Chain A
Amino acid sequence: MRVTKLRRFAVLMAAGTLVLAGCSSSSDEEGSGAYAGPVKDTPGTINVLAWPGYAEDGSTDPNVDWVTPFEKATGCTVNVKTYGTSDEAVQLMQGGGYDVISASGDASLRLIYGGDLQPVNLDLIPNYKDVFDNLKDRPWNTVDGKNYGVPHGRGANVLQYTIGKVNPAPTSWSVVWEPNSPAKGKITAYDSAIYIADAAVYLMSTKPELGITDPYALDQTQFDAAMALLAQQKPLVAEYWADYTKYIGAVQSGSITVGTSWQVIANVLNGEKETVGAVKPVEGATGWSDTWMISSKTEAIDCAYKWLNHIIEPSVNAQAAEYFGEAPANSKACALTASKDHCKLYHAEETDYWSNVYYWKTPTEKCLDGRTDVKCVPYAEWVKAWSSFRNS
């Protein structure tokens, strides 16, 4: 009797496990080429995965809205979900259920090789022709000659400081890395493994003997030096941030006065009164170049293409770039920004400015800077090191 019960229980358990395993298995098919078009007027719903500030539907600020006009014009319904780090974006996208995504360079390749995205037929996106040439066909949006999306905008991860609390106003990252920092204990850093690259950027100018040329191509010695710099910084840090609203609260309360930030955070903080400054320090900075991409599993392909075209429409691209605080990707957007010198302020048209902005990329074992005599530390190891570092 007892044996039968046990056996029945075991069978049930095994069945349960099988059901679960069945639910979690997903097909890994590659996208089967780009959409041939033409883009039809099929109504539908698209779930948009975006950086905060990229797809505003009026819920943050009723005056900031370029989603509702799109919905009215096309009959497509848009649901927006925002994320805080590229890693989170990759996780959400792999989980499925999203049709389009604004991916940074450190997320896009992982998604393309994972089969989560489909090539994009740029002929179906009329606004693509106006995109800055130095953003077209770049390694983070184009693989094997296939384009995977439309560029949205780019920017640098700036050094933000509270005016009056950090004197003199910093122009170097040393204020967040050196033990004698005047802002000791009130420093913040980005809570993601990709932040290791920020340490590498600082080492590029302070320890040239390490020979770092690309902060995403670090061999073991260079990587260890970056981790040592992070360990030196840890006692100075008040909080690591990934949630930008929490960051804003901490700056307003005075518990954080300096650290890496996005221009959009500074813009929100300066909403009523100018309280913080944001600069690209002399050492250069990490940054992002973002691309709108389409899921390989989308069922609303027409709406997705319309969204991609809409989001880089000069007037919309201008609005989004200005709200987020970055350089727009569409060259015609510069004439349409509310503040006339927006593009000048964000150096949208200057090629020089971007020479020491290191766009987020996914580090791989094969060094991204072209070295072949050494192996570089791949991103999985960055993640491991970061997790261990944060918990040590």
Chain B
Amino acid sequence: MSVIQQTRRYMHRNIGARISALLALPLFWLVVIYIGSLAALFITSIWKIDTFTSKVVREFTLQNFIDVFSDRAYFNVTIRTLFVAICVTLICAIIAIPMAFFMARIAKPKSRPVLIALVITPLWASYLVKIYAWRTMFYPEKGFINWLIEPLGGSSPGFGMVAVIIGLTYLWLPYMVLPIYAGMEKLPDSVIDASADLGAKSGRTFFDVILPITWPSIIAGSIFTFSLSMGDYITVQILGGTFQMLGNVVYQNFSLNLPFASAVALIPVLIMMVYLTSVRKTGALDNL
């Protein structure tokens, strides 16, 4: 008991101790677990391996980066990954903006919590269950999508890039809807009224008033969808057929050539850093 009292007294007197005790855990998380692992990733990428046993040898080399940048295949896979991430982000935005607008401005305030719950429901189910469900739907002959499209003269796209984009869009859509919803809800009625009073039709109001004001929250959503798509490899394995993304390169190499896998893993990190820096000015980071 006296120990607790002593500590309490010490803490009361000493503001520095109080602050460090409060910050110890979050700082540990940020510095050791988060930044530390990034540093470990970078350090690993400048090491060698024993080519026979695949064990990491701690000797400096830049060969992994030379391998990544000199092989055309890895340039192509980077472009493919970027393309998929951009497509997923755009499709998510196109679906999410009207959805969020409806939820925040048109639906009755009473029904809003229900609508939000509905948007979040897919997140309650396991990632794998959802993707395997999509896999059965995409089967080229016996799948649901083929059954749906066949009478119209088409056929299922089968496994490949299209299936991956659809799968990822489905997975990450809630992460786009929620920030945009939050942004639209904050929008004061007065600006929309003012726009209407000044004679703008609803289309003009949407594009010239609502969209610019909620832009930061759209960017905030895009950070989620873009980064989650950049790093994904499981959906690609399950829906991609022979199609591969950067995550798969890492997955394929981490067991036999960890330094090379680390070098590849730095590519999405770099892309995300560029992306985050470029959107910083929009104020999107304050909306996360």
B212 at the interface (CB under 8 A from A): no
A316 at the interface (CB under 8 A from B): no
The digit string for B51-63, where 1 denotes a CB below 8 A from any CB of A, is 1111100000000
B40 contacts A110, CB within 8 Å? no
The digit string for B217-243, where 1 denotes a CB below 8 A from any CB of A, is 000000000000000000000100110
The digit string for B85-111, where 1 denotes a CB below 8 A from any CB of A, is 000000000000000000000000000
In the complex, the chain A residue whose C-beta lies closest to that of B135 is A249
B53 contacts A113, CB within 8 Å? yes
| Nearest CB of chain B from residue A291's CB, rounded to whole Å | 17
A237 contacts B242, CB within 8 Å? yes
B148 at the interface (CB under 8 A from A): no
B140 contacts A255, CB within 8 Å? yes
Please tell me which one of the listed residues A20, A94, A389 contacts residue B40 in the complex, with CB atoms under 8 A apart: A20
CB proximity to A under 8 Å, residues B46-73 = 49-55, 67, 71-73
B74 contacts A239, CB within 8 Å? no
A387 at the interface (CB under 8 A from B): yes
Please tell me which one of the listed residues A17, A87, A88, A362 contacts residue B39 in the complex, with CB atoms under 8 A apart: A17
A132 at the interface (CB under 8 A from B): no
- Cα distance A388–B69 when bound, in Å? 12
A392 contacts B73, CB within 8 Å? yes
Interface centre among B135, B143, B254, B256 (most CB of A within 10 A): B256
Please tell me which one of the listed residues B43, B55, B242, B255 contacts residue A240 in the complex, with CB atoms under 8 A apart: B242
- Cα distance A234–B241 when bound, in Å? 11
B139 contacts A387, CB within 8 Å? no
In the complex, the chain B residue whose C-beta lies closest to that of A381 is B51
- Cα distance A253–B145 when bound, in Å? 13
A390 contacts B256, CB within 8 Å? no
Contacting residues, chain B, for A111 (C-beta < 8 A)? 53
B155 at the interface (CB under 8 A from A): no
B287 at the interface (CB under 8 A from A): no
Contacting residues, chain A, for B241 (C-beta < 8 A)? 238-239
B249 at the interface (CB under 8 A from A): yes
- Cα distance A240–B73 when bound, in Å? 18
A253 contacts B136, CB within 8 Å? yes
B77 contacts A234, CB within 8 Å? no
Q: State whether A392 and B76 are in contact (beta carbons under 8 Å apart), knowing that A17-B43, A380-B256, A387-B252 are contacts in the complex.
A: yes
- Cα distance A110–B49 when bound, in Å? 13
Binds A, one of B28-36, B180-188, B275-283: B28-36
In the complex, the chain B residue whose C-beta lies closest to that of A189 is B242
In this complex, how many residues of chain B approach chain A with their Cβ under 8 Å: the count is 45
Contacting residues, chain B, for A13 (C-beta < 8 A)? 31, 35-36, 39
In the complex, the chain B residue whose C-beta lies closest to that of A83 is B255
A379 contacts B76, CB within 8 Å? no
- Cα distance A160–B263 when bound, in Å? 38
A221 at the interface (CB under 8 A from B): no
The digit string for A291-335, where 1 denotes a CB below 8 A from any CB of B, is 000000000000000000000000000000000000000000000
Contacting residues, chain B, for A380 (C-beta < 8 A)? 49, 51-52, 54, 256-257
B244 at the interface (CB under 8 A from A): yes
B158 at the interface (CB under 8 A from A): yes
| Nearest CB of chain A from residue B64's CB, rounded to whole Å | 11
- Cα distance A246–B252 when bound, in Å? 17
B253 at the interface (CB under 8 A from A): yes
Main SS of the interface on chain A?
A: helix
Please tell me the size bucket of the interface on A: 35 or more
A19 at the interface (CB under 8 A from B): yes
A392 contacts B72, CB within 8 Å? yes
| Nearest CB of chain A from residue B134's CB, rounded to whole Å | 13
| Nearest CB of chain B from residue A89's CB, rounded to whole Å | 9
Contacting residues, chain A, for B238 (C-beta < 8 A)? 246
A179 at the interface (CB under 8 A from B): no
Q: State whether A91 and B256 are in contact (beta carbons under 8 Å apart), knowing that A16-B31, A255-B141, A391-B244 are contacts in the complex.
A: yes
Contacting residues, chain A, for B32 (C-beta < 8 A)? 16, 19-20
A266 at the interface (CB under 8 A from B): no
Please tell me which one of the listed residues B139, B248, B255 contacts residue A91 in the complex, with CB atoms under 8 A apart: B255
Contacting residues, chain B, for A254 (C-beta < 8 A)? 139-142
B7 at the interface (CB under 8 A from A): no
- Cα distance A377–B50 when bound, in Å? 15
A384 at the interface (CB under 8 A from B): yes
- Cα distance A238–B40 when bound, in Å? 37
B202 at the interface (CB under 8 A from A): no
Contacting residues, chain A, for B136 (C-beta < 8 A)? 249, 253
In the complex, the chain A residue whose C-beta lies closest to that of B252 is A387
A12 at the interface (CB under 8 A from B): yes
In the complex, the chain B residue whose C-beta lies closest to that of A112 is B53
B172 at the interface (CB under 8 A from A): no
- Cα distance A88–B142 when bound, in Å? 32
A87 contacts B256, CB within 8 Å? yes
A17 contacts B52, CB within 8 Å? no
Contacting residues, chain A, for B52 (C-beta < 8 A)? 110, 113, 362, 364, 378-380
| Nearest CB of chain A from residue B111's CB, rounded to whole Å | 40
- Cα distance A216–B197 when bound, in Å? 79
- Cα distance A255–B40 when bound, in Å? 41
B175 at the interface (CB under 8 A from A): no
B244 contacts A21, CB within 8 Å? no
| Nearest CB of chain A from residue B128's CB, rounded to whole Å | 11
Contacting residues, chain A, for B260 (C-beta < 8 A)? 384
| Nearest CB of chain A from residue B245's CB, rounded to whole Å | 9
Selected A-B contacts with CB under 8 Å, 5 pairs: A9-B31, A253-B142, A255-B140, A388-B74, A391-B77
Other A-B pairs, 5, CB within 8 Å; known A13-B31, A19-B32, A238-B158:
A19-B36, A110-B53, A234-B242, A254-B141, A379-B52
Q: Which 9 A-B pairs have the closest CB atoms?
A: A91-B255, A380-B51, A114-B53, A16-B36, A16-B32, A392-B73, A253-B139, A391-B77, A388-B73
**Measuring CB to CB, which residues of chain B are less than 8 angstroms from any residue of chain A?**
27, 31-32, 35-37, 39-40, 43, 49-55, 67, 71-74, 76-77, 135-136, 139-143, 158-159, 238, 241-242, 244, 248-249, 252-257, 260
